[in-house]
Chain A
Amino acid sequence: MQVPTMADMMAKGENPDILFWVGCSGSFDDRAKKITKALVKILNNCQVSFAVLGSEESCTGDPAKRAGNEFTYQMQAMMNIEVLNAYEIKKIVTACPHCFNTLKNEYPELGGDYEVIHHTQMIQDLINRGKLGLEESGSFKGKKITFHDPCYLGRANDVYEAPRQLIEKLDAELVEMKRCRTKGLCCGAGGAQMFKEAEKGNKEINIERTEDAIETAAEVIATGCPFCNTMMTDGIKNAEKEGTVKVLDIAELIANAAEL
């Protein structure tokens, strides 16, 4: 797969328009890697001039900061900012709302000022500018799709429309869960919960949330976050619905509909 790194570009004396921040999930998690690849296919198809940091990328520090370890977070942030500033990065796209939030809102105070967008916003822009056409008889035509709002995209950053408009571009029927948008229920992974067992309770949060999704009778649960994807996928397995309900990232839906 054709993925230029910043170092390659630099060597050739080139400068990409935008940096694709892959993130730890997108780099290492098997499920999330598929989302990463779907996005790269879209970027390549639209001839977007982009690059990744590859082995020069490191965790943004988000889980450390949410867990209360500001030291680890700031060490990570400052290292990353050094790399980003050395490459004179201006614009960043990422498929992870946690990276998105940290890069966009928390790096500026440590000297990292970039225009940061979420991949759903970027894809929406590509379609609006006519760079990406979706097939007429798309595979999702008429299907019921519901969107699970990632907390760090929705409530944390007020991005609600981009992913929804993309679902509508698929000619699919967007069905909302009873708790959606500002009232969306967390999948249970934020705030470093992804990396630990939940505290004692009477239910797992992802199961509660998956029930909301199943109630809509949607065939696809769309998300825009690798953590949400994991949590919802586990929830669907738990409900033994793998056969009927798929959990897909918006990038995967679009790549699929554009037959990439």
Chain B
Amino acid sequence: MNISILFFCIIASLGVAFFSYNIWKIRYNINLGLALERKDQKRKRLKTMILVAFGQKKMFSRPIPAILHLCLYVAFVITQVELLEIFADGILNEHRLFKSSLGGFYTFTISFIEILSVLAFIATIAFLARRNLLKLPRLNMKEMIGWPTKDANLILIFELILLVCIFTMNGTDEVLFQRGASHFSEGTTGSFGFSVSSLIGPLLFDGFSTHALHIAERIGWWGHLFMVLGFLNYLPYSKHFHILLAFPNTYYSNLDKKGKFTNMDSVTSEVKLMMDPTADPYAAPDPNAPPPSRFGAKDVTDLTWKNLMDAYTCTECGRCTSSCPANITGKLLSPRKIMMDTRDRLVEIGENKRKNGKDFDDGKSLLGDYISEEELWACTSCNACVDECPVNIDPLSIIVDLRRFLVMEESKVPSELTGMLTNIENNGAPWQFSQNDRLNWANEE
């Protein structure tokens, strides 16, 4: 076997295997969440996924980043064709395997990829500038300091290198072809006729010796492969994982009206017992009843798997936070931070459980160690964050579940709210008015 085929196969398998292992870990972590039924209404789910994930529908409320992002997204998807060819060439030790069979369509496809790559290049530079030069407020908030900002920049730099590799590969190959030295068809001269590289190739590389060109072409080719495998394995650690999870996450979106909060069935059975005059308070509990669950959420394992998938899908774009009335007016609450905290804590718990066994308790929790009461109480439940999120993440449902724990398990309620709750319980209104006076307005002038 040819040494380069062997090398290729080893590198590619290692890359794919490590990636699969990381995906398994993330699946394991998401499955730590509570059950939730999201398998109904398949048509509507599919439609949501096509519109929101494929169609990027919600991005377009902010046109400038939407267009920039669209360039990257489309370029990314289309470039996979070229990646397929790289894999085929790598395994079979061929050079531009698809060209002879696809002919004119090949030229068209690669040309299309190249044009999109130029757009993607410009978009990437623009994105870097928005983050680092223009310092867009939503990309430079407190929770973005440190790793999140590095992560974002790293991805963009990755992308730039990848694009440089593509153009190096195609540009040098073009010049080689013109000299009759391309591995595609040695001895014959010609042009690939790709839209961009046939122009910039000669411009950039004409001064190179044929030997140097061959080396540069291989660097482009292997570079492309290495960047792709590197990127693939970087994804699970990065906010960039949204490029994969955006699809399932939008498919499993909440399809109810946003105002509808979940009903807590565990509470329903208790309230029914309390209100049922025939119930025997001393009756032995039903032996088949499921073990009593916690009311609300203290840690990520008290959230549903969808909340956890949300956390892994979050791209940290901050659209939610920049539309949050609490955050806009300087409160501590940031729905993006809620999602980032949930993810960080989930990664931590997952690691712990894999290392120290399923029941390991590190004594920490999402509530308290990551998210403070002050953040939770600042939420107006306005749903702006939910509406804004381009990948249908629901930070509000996490906030509500954490509040439920605070109130029902720990009785930690802001004092004014204690008054409100007592009033509702005593006289059926949040204020101290008698229920008998509810119709007084009809007789007032």
Which of A1, A57, A75, A156 is B258 in contact with, Cβ under 8 Å?
Answer: A156
Report the nearest A residue to B270, measured CB to CB: A71
Residues of chain B lying within 8 A (CB to CB) of residue A101 = 257, 259-260
Q: How large is the interface on A (under 10, 10 to 19, 20 to 34, 35 or more residues)?
A: 35 or more
Residues of chain A lying within 8 A (CB to CB) of residue B268 = 74, 110
A58 close to B429 (CB less than 8 A):
yes
Q: Does chain B have a CB within 8 A of A52? A: yes
Q: Does chain B have a CB within 8 A of A78? A: yes
Which of A151, A182, A199 is B377 in contact with, Cβ under 8 Å?
Answer: A199
With contact pairs A3-B439, A71-B267, A75-B275 given, residues A185 and B325 touching in the complex (Cβ less than 8 Å):
yes
Report the nearest B residue to A63, measured CB to CB: B430
Which of B267, B323, B381, B439 is A54 in contact with, Cβ under 8 Å?
Answer: B439
A158 close to B257 (CB less than 8 A):
yes
Residues of chain A lying within 8 A (CB to CB) of residue B378 = 198-199, 201
Q: Does chain B have a CB within 8 A of A121? A: no
Please report the C-alpha to C-alpha distance between residue A66 and residue B421 in the assembled complex, in whole angstroms. Answer: 11
Stretch of A10-18, A20-28, A139-147 lying at the B interface: A20-28
Q: Does chain A have a CB within 8 A of B350? A: no
B325 close to A208 (CB less than 8 A):
yes
Residues of chain A lying within 8 A (CB to CB) of residue B419 = 195
Nearest Cβ in chain B — how far from A4, in angstroms? 10
Residues of chain B lying within 8 A (CB to CB) of residue A59 = 424, 428-430
Report the nearest A residue to B388, measured CB to CB: A183
Q: How large is the interface on B (under 10, 10 to 19, 20 to 34, 35 or more residues)?
A: 35 or more
Please report the C-alpha to C-alpha distance between residue A5 and residue B442 in the assembled complex, in whole angstroms. Answer: 11
Please report the C-alpha to C-alpha distance between residue A61 and residue B263 in the assembled complex, in whole angstroms. Answer: 13
Q: Does chain B have a CB within 8 A of A91? A: no
1/0 per residue A55-68: CB within 8 Å of B? 10111010111111
Nearest Cβ in chain A — how far from B391, in angstroms? 16
Nearest Cβ in chain B — how far from A40, in angstroms? 8
Please report the C-alpha to C-alpha distance between residue A27 and residue B437 in the assembled complex, in whole angstroms. Answer: 8
B275 close to A78 (CB less than 8 A):
yes
Please report the C-alpha to C-alpha distance between residue A136 and residue B403 in the assembled complex, in whole angstroms. Answer: 51
With contact pairs A57-B438, A106-B263 given, residues A198 and B331 touching in the complex (Cβ less than 8 Å):
yes
Report the nearest A residue to B379, measured CB to CB: A191
* A185-199 contacts to B (CB < 8 Å): 185-186, 188-199
Interface centre among B386, B405, B420 (most CB of A within 10 A): B420
Stretch of B96-104, B357-365, B409-417 lying at the A interface: B409-417
Please report the C-alpha to C-alpha distance between residue A72 and residue B267 in the assembled complex, in whole angstroms. Answer: 10
* B260-286 contacts to A (CB < 8 Å): 260-261, 263-264, 267-268, 270-272, 274-275
Interface centre among B267, B329, B437 (most CB of A within 10 A): B329
Residues of chain A lying within 8 A (CB to CB) of residue B417 = 67, 192, 195-196
Residues of chain A lying within 8 A (CB to CB) of residue B325 = 185-186, 188, 205, 208-209
Which of B295, B323, B381, B435 is A183 in contact with, Cβ under 8 Å?
Answer: B323
Please report the C-alpha to C-alpha distance between residue A205 and residue B333 in the assembled complex, in whole angstroms. Answer: 13
Report the nearest A residue to B265, measured CB to CB: A109
A155 close to B430 (CB less than 8 A):
no
Report the nearest B residue to A191, measured CB to CB: B381
A66 close to B271 (CB less than 8 A):
no
With contact pairs A78-B271, A189-B380, A202-B329 given, residues A24 and B429 touching in the complex (Cβ less than 8 Å):
yes
Which of B257, B272, B431, B441 is A156 in contact with, Cβ under 8 Å?
Answer: B257
Residues of chain B lying within 8 A (CB to CB) of residue A52 = 439
Please report the C-alpha to C-alpha distance between residue A149 and residue B403 in the assembled complex, in whole angstroms. Answer: 26
* A93-121 contacts to B (CB < 8 Å): 101, 104-106, 109-110
B380 close to A151 (CB less than 8 A):
yes
Q: Does chain A have a CB within 8 A of B374? A: yes
Q: Does chain A have a CB within 8 A of B384? A: yes
A203 close to B258 (CB less than 8 A):
no
Interface residues of B (CB under 8 A from A): 61, 256-261, 263-264, 267-268, 270-272, 274-275, 295-296, 323, 325-326, 328-333, 374, 377-384, 386-387, 400, 403-408, 413-414, 416-417, 419-421, 424-425, 428-431, 433, 435-444
6 contacts between A and B (CB under 8 A): A22-B438, A26-B441, A54-B438, A106-B261, A186-B325, A200-B374
Interface residues of A (CB under 8 A from B): 1, 3, 5, 22, 24, 26-28, 33, 36-37, 40, 52-55, 57-59, 61, 63-72, 74-76, 78-79, 101, 104-106, 109-110, 151-152, 155-158, 182-183, 185-186, 188-205, 208-209
